[in-house]
Structure 1
Amino acid sequence: MASHGKESTWLILNGKSAQQPEVREAVETLRHQGHDLGVRVTWEGGDGVRLVDAAVEAGAKRVIAGGGDGSINEVVRGLMQHPEARRPALGILPLGSANDFANGLGLPLAARPALELALTGEVRRVDAGLLDDEAFINVASGGFGAEITTSTPVGLKRLLGGGAYSLMGMLKAWNYQPFEGHIRWPEGEARVPLFMLAIGNGSQAGGGQRLAPSARIDDGLFELLFVRHFQSLGELKRIIDELENLPQDGEFVRYLRVPWVEFDSDGAFPLNLDGEPRRYHHFRASLAREAIPLVVPSKCPLLDENAGAMPDA
């Protein structure tokens, strides 16, 4: 699938997806339609960043991240290492198992329409999240949700869907302890035993959990969701009800809109950054305003309706 010469668009394709027939057919069809599309395939971690560097040096106008949320994250991190004026527009070809960011944006999930939109869609400047100085585009989610995602094959959505009784049984079997820590944001602070934390630039994580239903990726604000620790089945059922009623605050669930948040943890706090697992004792999450030129669908639920489109990239 390699292509040579000076292509105006580079598809940076996760190696796991490179042999999918529908991806190959989509590339060939769109090339036949006259699109100037080069394909580069990643082999190991870090390749996405290196290929973004190569695309920028080659003068590419767009780069398309072909893969899941982790692949998009790596391309975003690569883009953020270049001066704003040199960043190509970012398109997305969703090829992951969850595709949380693509679903939040309302992108088509089939290969050909997704690739066509990535090549031709309008470009809007959107915010990038920064956790300390590591970039992310969608959601940083931590606490129990991150523990499940990284340590077992079952996602938070399926676990909660399986009922409160089974979740309580698992917590007891694991000798679950809440994550003690101190949260600060511009208008307040809280010392809490945390069950779950989400910092949303985008709206969903964990394979479809809408943790930040009011999120916009161009408004300069995070949606901050945190869930306090509970001690009984009744309290857990209350939490599940409160999560269903987001963005309202509840007794156990708080939902805030903030430009930054800091967290000091008493222990190593598990956090997924666009699905990639990390651990932190302290972090500060902030936003780089309008940092990424992103290709979006015409009616994108993650965009502020009052903002305008960029000139075509």
Structure 2
Amino acid sequence: MKKARLIYNPSSGREIVRRRLPDILDLMETAGYETSCHATKGPEDATKEAARAVSRGYDLIIAAGGDGTIYEVVNGMAGQKARPALGIIPCGTTNDLARAIGIPKSISRSCDVIKRGKKKRIDLGKINNRYFINIAGGGYLTNLTYEVPSKLKTMMGQLAYYMKGLEKLPSLHPIRVKMENRKEVLLDEEIMIFLIANSRSVGGFEKLAPQADLSDGKLDVIVVKKANIAEIIRLATLAMRGDHIKDPLIAYFQTDYLKATTSSGEQVQLNLDGELGGQLPCVVEALPGHIELFVP
């Protein structure tokens, strides 16, 4: 029998994984996996446990939690020579990656995706010495995901992000950013935010990067140029329909390599899959087909 390691966030999804743990282990056994589990205990614990699971030769690693849990698990797997397949049980607030792939939020149905055994190789993004599976970004709005308290996310779900966003809007100001690929400067101006997407679904917006493909070897870059509050709200409304990329305040392009720097003298934090990811400057690369993922 093959071996699986379940790495789960006990507080995700109103603690549903902890309550349903016997069911998950039973479902994995019927799928042909002898499954052990590990409850995360703090920041980067999932990364360390995923690295241990790789070194111990597990056939499957299952990340049960939100996008942050998946991010940590991926960072424990990426870059290693022999990487097991990855399964996802989405139990977070937005579940962007699961939404993009079509993995259902139901625990039993997401376990069925693993049981059916269909796998697909997908790209990762590498930014400096870290990896992301869905989204990287910089600018003041990207701070939202780690400024919202975990208890508030548990209680209110995605509404907690919207409340925090409205609170921060009046304090937003532009930063000067230069972006270049291996051949030319792509952008050098004041911007509000930049996002580097691997999938179409970001922050609950299902068409934020409408041309993105998890297996095309490229990353999609969305930049919001200098704008006022009214324009930002208008762009957010357009983004719900995927019409924002036609707006003159948006720069949208695809690349497999990007260097981003700032000359504003400010410390610009990076956000990777909803977690802190260092600061500018950064070098971003696409890693084609780096992870094998169970898909519907």
Question: In 2, Cα distance between the equivalents of 1:22 and 1:268?
Answer: 42
Partner letter of residue 58 of structure 1? R
Partner letter of residue 284 of structure 2? A
Q: CA deviation at 1:62?
A: 1.0
Q: Does 1:289 align with 2:288?
A: yes
For residues 67-216 of structure 1, the aligned pairs below 5 Å read: 67-83=65-81, 86-152=82-148, 171-172=169-170, 174=171, 176-185=172-181, 186=183, 188-208=185-205, 210-216=207-213
Work out which of the residue numbers 3, 11, 17 in structure 2 matches 1:8.
3
Q: TM-score, normalised by structure 2?
A: 0.83
Q: Please give the secondary structure, in 1, of the residue aligned with 2:268.
A: strand
Asked if 2 retains the 8 angstrom alpha-carbon contact of 1:205 and 1:275, the reply is: no
Partner letter of residue 211 of structure 2? S
Seen in structure 2, the aligned counterparts of structure 1 residues 194 and 222 have a Cα distance that, compared at 3 Å, is same
Q: TM-score, normalised by structure 1?
A: 0.79
Seen in structure 2, the aligned counterparts of structure 1 residues 120 and 212 have a Cα distance that, compared at 3 Å, is same
Q: CA deviation at 1:199?
A: 0.2
1:79-112 CA deviation, whole Å, 9 max, x = no partner? Answer: 11411xx110011111111111111111011111
Partner letter of residue 215 of structure 2? D
Seen in structure 2, the aligned counterparts of structure 1 residues 230 and 78 have a Cα distance that, compared at 3 Å, is same
1:148-181 CA deviation, whole Å, 9 max, x = no partner? Answer: 33335699x869989xxx96x9644x2x321111
Q: CA deviation at 1:7?
A: 5.3
Q: CA deviation at 1:56?
A: 2.2
Seen in structure 2, the aligned counterparts of structure 1 residues 7 and 54 have a Cα distance that, compared at 3 Å, is farther
Partner letter of residue 195 of structure 2? A
Q: Please give the secondary structure, in 2, of the residue aligned with 1:98.
A: coil
Greater Cα radius of gyration, structure 1 or 2:
1
The number of aligned residues is 282
* Structure 1: runs of 5+ lacking an equivalent: 1-5, 298-313
Work out which of the residue numbers 220, 230, 233 in structure 2 matches 1:223.
220
- Give the CA RMSD over aligned residues: 2.9
1:188-231 CA deviation, whole Å, 9 max, x = no partner? Answer: 42112111211001222223464212211111111110010114
For residues 238-257 of structure 1, the aligned pairs below 5 Å read: 239-240=235-236, 243=239, 244-246=241-243, 248-257=245-254
1:242-266 CA deviation, whole Å, 9 max, x = no partner? Answer: 5344474321011111112111122
Asked if 2 retains the 8 angstrom alpha-carbon contact of 1:23 and 1:112, the reply is: no
Q: CA deviation at 1:43?
A: 1.5
Asked if 2 retains the 8 angstrom alpha-carbon contact of 1:213 and 1:247, the reply is: no
Asked if 1 retains the 8 angstrom alpha-carbon contact of 2:75 and 2:130, the reply is: yes
